[in-house]
Structures are given as structure tokens and as C-alpha cells.
Chains A and B, each alone.
Chain A
Amino acid sequence: MRILHSGSAGTLESSDVLITVERNPAKGVVIELESISEARFGNRIREVIKETLKKLQVEDVKVRVQDRSALDCTIRARLTAAVFRAAGIEKYPWEELE
């Protein structure tokens, strides 16, 4: 999936995460993480972000993650929404998302 412009999803409320994705042509995946639990869960959050991007077939992207102790499933949901918004796609391929 191609990122066309900046897109974000989520909130800064507790248990949520605000994720913003931007184009990053030919520079791969860059993750900027801001989290109160970075020391404990930073690696895990990055792993979830990378796995989700791989599933969505997004390769060159800058991801800003403002985490408020979100669960993995919340991170996946917010990143997916941000990516589809940034790709300008409103027809969701549910089979591939499973």
C-alpha cells in the first residue's frame, strides 16, 4: 500500500495511542516512539508496528507513535486506520486484514 499523504488515528487519552504516518520515500520504516512505558514496552510496541506494517504491505513510511499505555490490539487498530487514511483507501480488503 502506498502512503500518499500524512494520516493519523487515535487519541491521547489513557489506554489509547495517537499514530501519525507520513511518506518516507526510499528510506524504509522509521518509528518515532513517545511512551511513558517505553523502557518496559518500547521494543514490543515497535514490533507490533513493524508486524502490522508488513501485513499492510507498507514499506517506506515514517510512523510517529504517541502512546498512552495502549494494548497491542489498540496499536494495531490505530495504525491500520492511520495507514488507510494516509493511502486514501476507503474500500477495505477484510480478507487480507484477517
Chain B
Amino acid sequence: MKLRRTMLYVPGNSAAMVKDAHIYRPDTVMFDLEDSVSYREKDAARFLVYQTLRTIDYGGVETAVRINGLDTPYGKDDIEAMVRARPNIIRIPKTEKAQDVADVETEIERVERKIGLPIGTIKLFAAIETPLGVLNAREIACSSSRLLGIALGAEDLVTSLRTTRSKDGIELHYARSQVLYAARVAGINAIDTVYSNVQDEEGFLAEVRLIKQLGFDGKSVIQPNQIKLVHRVYTPTEEEIHKALRVLEAIREAESKGSGVIALDGRMIDKPVVERARWTIELAKASGVVPEEVKP
């Protein structure tokens, strides 16, 4: 199972960050060619990410690049360069409809064909950052076999909604639910938006707990010190692991006896309970707190 608990934004024109971001061990490093790069530096950032991706060994950390939209003068060159640089993922900004994904996919495929890369090598993530994107989340999520996930981008969204980010995130309730449901229908990842106040660790943790409880797979982060905090929240506790292992053991025992009804500590164990237990163990394994050889 590939975890995407954290996708670390790295400004694409920062030489130090572009070469070192993986040492903080996020699940995914995301080089940004879009909002964090000024118009005057778009070319330089593109060359920097292109050259660095082709050179550095990121030690198994997944790499993504957020490109500029195809409706800007930079999007097409970003794709041309990045497909050649071969990150694992290209992230599409401000996706509003399925056609936006199809347009990017057409460009990627054109370059893949040109350089002899197997079609479909470069995967996609779509960022949903506008009211229209939120309303079309399902069609976006189901639009391409390259899509590994959709990600909510809240800063632009709250501005369009004529509100601001609050601590409890009430203004994002609908968008988060919509993005999450769309991702689950499509069978892909759902990634939450960034938390911009890097000084407020308590507020950040509360938001991570909230999005985990909602069902999100992870969160975009902007500071390396946010990575450990997210991973800690997402790592199953000893008690959760113990409980999950007991459920799975009870299932195996019942199956070996040919028993149809399974109970543990006087409570019925049904399919959703088993599925949750398997998920807990998979997450624990991927988080490195349970050995790989443990049976799910």
C-alpha cells in the first residue's frame, strides 16, 4: 500500500529545498511551479526542477510536480519538461471539470509518445480549488485511469466563497465531504488542503485529526516540521493494532472451523469490522510499526 499521508510543497525555484526536501521523509515531495513561483522566474524554476529531478535520487520518496494550468503561457512547457524529467506524478492546479484532466492527459501522452516512454507512466493528481471544481468533484475523480487522487486546495476556494479559513473549518465542510466522497467513488486518494499558520501546532493537529476522522488519506503540508505530526496522527495506536489483530485472528479461527457466525468478546464481527481491521494493519505496516510478515 502506498501511503500519501503527507505531500510536502517545495517552491520550485528554491535550489536548496528542491535538492533536500526528501530528507524530511514526507510520503510525497511536491515541487511547485505554480503559485510559489513568480511570473519572472517560471522559466528558471522549470529548468531547476527538470535538472534536479533528472539527477537526484530521492531515496524512494514519491515525487510530484504541480504545473501551471494549460490556460497560462507556462502549462504546456511545464508538461513538456516534466514528462521528460519523470516525476511519479503531475498535479493539475484548479481543476474544474473532467475535460481539464483530459487536456493535460493529452499533452502528457503526446510527450510520452515522443520520447518513447510507455503511455501512462506519468500519473496524475487533480487539485480542486474552486466552487465549480467542488461541484464537479465526482466527474473529475472518475475522469482518468492515471489519476491517483484529488486534493482540496482551500485558500482560493474560501476567497471564492467570500469567507476565510476558520479554526474549526466549518466553511470547508461541504467541500471536504464532496472531495472525499468523489475520491471514494473513484477508488483514489483524497488529500486535504494545507494549514498555513505554521506557528499554530495545536490548531494544525486538531485539523489533522479532523480530516483523518473524515476519512482523508493525508494532507498537503508546507513545512517539514508538519510531516512528523501528520504521520503520528495517522499511525495506528498499539491498542488499535492489538484489537485489529484479534479480529483477524478470530476470523481465521472461525474460517478454519467452518463457522459462519463470528464473535469476539461477545460482539458480532461483520464484514465492515473485518475490513477496518485489515485497513488498520495495512496502515500500521506501511507506517513501519508492524512487521511486513504479519498476515492481514
* Residues in A lying within 8 Å of B, measured CB to CB: 9-11, 13-17, 70-74, 76-78, 80-81, 84-85, 90, 92, 94-95, 98
Report if A16-B16 is in contact (Cβ < 8 Å); known contacts: A73-B56, A94-B80, A94-B84. yes
Size of B's binding interface in residues, CB under 8 A: 21
Q: Which of A73, A76, A92, A94 neighbours the largest number of chain B CB atoms within 10 Å of its CB?
A: A73
Chain B 42-61 interface mask (CB, 8 Å, partner A; 1/0): 01100110111011100000
A88 shortest CB reach to chain B, Å: 12
Report if A15-B43 is in contact (Cβ < 8 Å); known contacts: A77-B51, A98-B84. no
Question: Given the complex, which residues of B lie within 8 Å of A72, measured CB to CB?
Answer: 55
B115 shortest CB reach to chain A, Å: 8
A33-B56 Cα distance, complex, nearest whole Å = 24
Report if A15-B15 is in contact (Cβ < 8 Å); known contacts: A73-B52, A73-B56. yes
**A73 and B81 within 8 A (CB):** no
* Residues in B lying within 8 Å of A, measured CB to CB: 14-16, 19-20, 43-44, 47-48, 50-52, 54-56, 77, 80-81, 84, 114-115
**B43 and A84 within 8 A (CB):** yes
Q: A16-B15, A73-B54 are in contact. List 18 more A-B contacts (CB 8 A).
A: A9-B44, A10-B15, A13-B14, A15-B15, A16-B16, A17-B15, A71-B15, A71-B55, A73-B19, A73-B55, A74-B19, A74-B48, A74-B52, A76-B51, A81-B44, A92-B81, A95-B114, A98-B84
A65 shortest CB reach to chain B, Å: 14
Report if A77-B19 is in contact (Cβ < 8 Å); known contacts: A84-B43, A90-B43, A94-B80. no
Report if A15-B19 is in contact (Cβ < 8 Å); known contacts: A73-B55, A94-B84. yes
A73-B47 Cα distance, complex, nearest whole Å = 9
Q: Which of A17, A70, A71, A81 neighbours the largest number of chain B CB atoms within 10 Å of its CB?
A: A81
B73 shortest CB reach to chain A, Å: 9
B76 shortest CB reach to chain A, Å: 10
A95 shortest CB reach to chain B, Å: 8
**B77 and A92 within 8 A (CB):** yes
A73-B80 Cα distance, complex, nearest whole Å = 19
Question: Given the complex, which residues of A lie within 8 Å of B81, measured CB to CB?
Answer: 92, 94
A96-B270 Cα distance, complex, nearest whole Å = 60
**A77 and B44 within 8 A (CB):** yes
B204 shortest CB reach to chain A, Å: 27
**B80 and A71 within 8 A (CB):** no
B135 shortest CB reach to chain A, Å: 36
Report if A11-B15 is in contact (Cβ < 8 Å); known contacts: A77-B48, A94-B80, A98-B84. yes
CB contact between B47 and one of A13, A14, A17, A77 (< 8 Å): that residue: A77
Smallest CB gap from B47: residue in A: A77
A76-B50 Cα distance, complex, nearest whole Å = 10
B224 shortest CB reach to chain A, Å: 15
**A77 and B50 within 8 A (CB):** yes
A17-B16 Cα distance, complex, nearest whole Å = 11
